[in-house]
């Protein structure tokens, strides 16, 4: 069975891989259509170090550089490299080699335009901003697991709000079986209480799944209170998208009592 939430991809200058040699092109007409297997829906099937994913081919990405593409593959640096679906389709063999030779690969899919594969707008406000998967050891997620477990232990005897969430400062815990908390699996969300951004990150068996979302439900969540009423809807949307990306397993965005 699979793991859970999302990748901490640092915001920094990215060195684009072979970008200067790509030239003008179209996603629809790329010759790499014959170089990658596809799902029935037309997504590219890519093996991210023993994890098969189906990458959406978004029309909007045809005119975007790798740095602002909706679908991005990150590789360890320095410098940090990045590939888009556009790169995969124009240079498939080089892309496969790059994936095979890297210690780990991080996949990030960001919110696209209306009617694209990934679009989560609720009441005019972007809710889930991105989902991600990472193959290989994720030190950042391993660190968060300890924080989540500590918050879970502190929550065992705490009262939940009407949505089932328990606040432990910047970390929020929800037990799936509230009547048997000691034995129950649980969800953990960490939020930036100043800027309003929230995140779920779950890792096991060298695979991390994660997603980022607006925890305030308001445009420009700066100094706005966290609104836990939107958590469950955001989790459902992100899980659905992660399940679509993962071709051989399902996303489990929970932790067990002993993890």
**pLDDT at res. 246:** 97
**pLDDT at res. 191:** 98
* Per-residue pLDDT reduced to its tens digit, 195-225: 999 999 999 999 999 999 999 999 877 789 9
Q: Which of 16-20, 115-119, 203-207 has the lowest mean pLDDT?
A: 16-20
**Of residues 239, 258, 257, 241, the one with CA closest to residue 3:** 239
**Of residues 186, 173, 170, the one with CA closest to residue 256:** 186
> How confident is residue 25, by pLDDT bands cut at 50, 70 and 90?
very low
Give me the mean pLDDT over the 23-42 stretch: 60
Structural tokens at position 194: 């100043």
**pLDDT at res. 254:** 98
**pLDDT at res. 145:** 96
Give me the mean pLDDT over the 18-34 stretch: 37
Burial 139-148 (b: 16+ CB within 10 A, else e): ebbeebbeeb
**pLDDT at res. 80:** 73
Helix (H, G, I), strand (E, B) or coil at 233: helix
pLDDT at 30 > cutoff 70:
no
Q: Is the Cβ–Cβ distance between 88 and 22 less than 8 Å? A: no
141 vs 144: CA distance, rounded Å: 5
Give me the mean pLDDT over the 104-112 stretch: 88
**164 or 17, which is more confident:** 164
**pLDDT at res. 124:** 87
Give me the mean pLDDT over the 13-41 stretch: 48
* Per-residue pLDDT reduced to its tens digit, 45-91: 999 988 999 998 876 677 777 777 788 999 877 777 899 998 998 89
Q: How many CA atoms within 13 Å lie on the side-chain side of 29?
A: 3
* Per-residue pLDDT reduced to its tens digit, 154-188: 999 999 999 999 999 999 999 999 999 999 999 99
Q: Scanning the structure block, which residue is given the tokens 């391993």?
A: 142
**pLDDT at res. 66:** 72
Q: What DSSP string runs through 47-102?
A: ESSS-EEEE---GGGGGS-GGG-SEEEEE--SSPEEEEHHHHHHSHHHHHHHHHHS
Burial class (CB in 10 A: 0-12, 13-18, 19+), 125: middle
**pLDDT at res. 117:** 81
Q: Which of 10-19, 48-57, 109-118 has the lowest mean pLDDT?
A: 10-19
> How confident is residue 28, by pLDDT bands cut at 50, 70 and 90?
very low
112 vs 110: CA distance, rounded Å: 6
Burial class (CB in 10 A: 0-12, 13-18, 19+), 173: buried
Q: Is the Cβ–Cβ distance between 115 and 63 less than 8 Å? A: no
* Phi, then psi, of 46 in degrees rounded to 5: -125, 135
Which residues, other chains included, contact 66 with Cβ-Cβ below 8 Å and sequence gap of 6+? 14, 16, 17, 19, 72, 82, 83, 84, 86, 87
Rg (alpha carbons) of the chain, rounded to whole number: 19
| Percent of the chain residues topping a pLDDT of 90 | 61
């Amino acid at each position: 069975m699979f793991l859970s939430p999302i990748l901490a991809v640092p915001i920094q200058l990215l060195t684009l891989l072979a970008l200067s040699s790509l030239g003008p092109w179209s996603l629809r007409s790329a010759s790499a259509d014959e170089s990658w297997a596809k799902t029935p829906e037309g997504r590219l099937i890519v093996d991210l170090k023993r994890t098969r994913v189906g990458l959406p081919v978004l029309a909007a990405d045809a005119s975007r550089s790798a740095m602002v593409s909706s679908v991005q593959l990150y590789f360890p640096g320095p410098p940090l490299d990045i590939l888009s679906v556009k790169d995969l389709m124009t240079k498939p063999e080089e892309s496969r080699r790059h994936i095979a030779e890297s210690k780990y690969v991080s996949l990030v899919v960001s919110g696209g335009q209306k009617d694209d594969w990934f679009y989560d707008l609720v009441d005019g406000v972007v809710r889930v901003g991105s989902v991600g998967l990472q193959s290989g050891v994720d030190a950042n997620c391993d660190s968060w697991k300890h924080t989540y477990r500590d918050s879970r232990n502190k929550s065992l005897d705490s009262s939940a709000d009407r949505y089932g969430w328990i606040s432990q400062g910047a970390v929020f815990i929800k037990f799936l079986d509230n009547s048997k908390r000691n034995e129950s699996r649980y969800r953990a969300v960490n939020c930036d209480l100043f800027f309003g951004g929230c995140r779920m990150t779950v890792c096991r068996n060298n695979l991390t799944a994660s997603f980022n979302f607006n925890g305030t439900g308001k445009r420009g969540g700066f100094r706005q209170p966290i609104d836990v009423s939107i958590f469950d809807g955001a989790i459902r949307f992100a899980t659905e998208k992660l399940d679509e990306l993962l071709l051989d397993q399902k996303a489990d965005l929970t932790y067990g009592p002993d993890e």
